[in-house]
Structure 1
Amino acid sequence: MHDPTPPPTQHGRGWPAAQRGAHNQHLRLTHADRDSVANLLKEAYAEGRLDADEFEERLGTAMNAKVHGELEPLLSDLLPEGARIPAPPAAESSPAASGSERLTALVGHCSGYFLAALGPLAVLLVSGNSSAFVRKHAVEALNFQLTFVVGSIVLWFFSWLILPIVAWVFLLLGWMVLPMIAGAAALFGGSWKYPLTWRPIKDS
């Protein structure tokens, strides 16, 4: 007797509707799957449909889940029957920086060689509001220059000790080399974080 039911294929295609759910239960989860469930649980908690203990328990289970079947009990009383878990919204990608923005960001890093913190500060004040890319680099360069200036002043007060002199030599070497690396990163449209840097100025 001929069986009209098509054979099962990968990811459940060809399975009868009643059997697809059971088949997908064994599929491995992605980070996006877990994030989607976490967002639904947060919404349910905010709406008062879950208390704090339920929310914490279900969220922990969702983050540690391995297959789809482990997520179904977490949402069975929150979603209508047959509803699908929505995918999380895709993150908006930042537009590529233009050539002039990259050059301005490079100037922000390298201006510290001549004007210390005043160089990146000037770049921040002139171009920071018109370009997020320039602002990000100018703020980072400004924080590094402030770190160098404040660190040099503090170490000068303890210059009668040997260790502060050694620390200042390393600080000076960093001041000479790191802005060139950061400037190259800016010129190629990338980002750079100076190591061991005090950041009193926030990029906001």
Structure 2
Amino acid sequence: MPDRFRAPEDPAIRLTHADRDAAAETLKEAYAEGQLDEDEFEERLGLAIKAKFPAELEPLLSDIVPRRTGAATAPPRPDAPEGPRNGSERLWALGGHVSGYFLFPLGPLLVLLANGNTSPFVRRHAVEALNYQLTFLIGSIVLLGLSWLIIPVLVWIPMLLGWIFMPVIAGFVGLAGGRWKYPFTWRPVRE
């Protein structure tokens, strides 16, 4: 972590706009280099912008490896590959999405429990499928409770169409080794 973001001897000294901008730039570089995922980047950036004292920036930047200009970028770690290592992981990813048709959130949860700790690729897809199924189930229950109104029925129809088609699309993306994020999804379960 750069020395300018370490807590000074007098912790009552407040940050300047330039300090917050420099912290934001460090976070942007870490995100661009793949050290932070999108959700973590957005969360840390929001906290950095709201920080008032250097001690608030320290935990946001302490685990980020500083960028070395002119140095060759390190190859990806073998224990955390970007995509699936084998066809089995792709099938588990497909199963995580499609199992929601039969068991709603329980299907992706079972895939997550069965193979989520051994493969980051399967975990990412199972968590995304679980969040989508939870969103659909909770949204359906809420809209059913409000079904005496006309508008919830009109909202539920696109939700149902999305539930019919999007898990299949996401499953094929997982089978192809890609990454999928469901739109309009509440994400209470994190990777």
Q: Which runs of 5+ in 1 are unaligned?
A: 1-38, 64-84
Task: State the Cα distance separating 1:47 from its structure 2 match.
Answer: 7.8
The answer to whether 1:155 aligns with 2:143 is: yes
For residues 5-16 of structure 1, what are the structure 2 equivalents within 5 Å? none
Structure 2 letter corresponding to 1:107 = G
> Normalising to structure 1: TM-score of the pair?
0.60
The residue aligned with 1:139 is 127
TM-score, normalising length: structure 2? 0.64
Partner of residue 90, structure 1? 73
Over residues 58-106 of structure 1, what are the superposed CA-to-partner deviations in whole Å (9 max), with x where a residue is unaligned? 939x89xxxxxxxxxxxxxxxxxxxxx9427736535231110011000
Using the aligned pairs only, state the percent identity. 50
| Equivalent in the alignment of 1:46 | 6
Give the secondary structure class of the aligned counterpart of 2:138.
Answer: helix
1:106 is the counterpart of 2:94:
yes
1:123 aligns with 2:123: no
What SS is found at the alignment partner of 1:142?
helix
CA distance in 2, matches of 1:57, 1:158: 45
- Provide closer, same or farther for how the CA distance between residues 59 and 189 of structure 1 changes in structure 2, counting only shifts above 3 A: same
Residue 53 and residue 162 in structure 1: after superposition, are their counterparts in 2 closer, same or farther (change >3 A)?
closer
CA distance in 1, matches of 2:103, 2:68: 52
1:56 to 2:44 alignment: no
Which stretches of structure 1, 4 residues or more, deviate above 4 A after TM superposition? 51-55
Displacement after TM superposition at 1:180 (Å): 1.0
The aligned runs of 1:15-30 (5 Å cut-off) are none
Paired position in structure 2 for 1:171 = 159
Seen in structure 2, the aligned counterparts of structure 1 residues 92 and 59 have a Cα distance that, compared at 3 Å, is: same
Of the candidates 148, 161, 179, which is equivalent to residue 191 of structure 1? 179
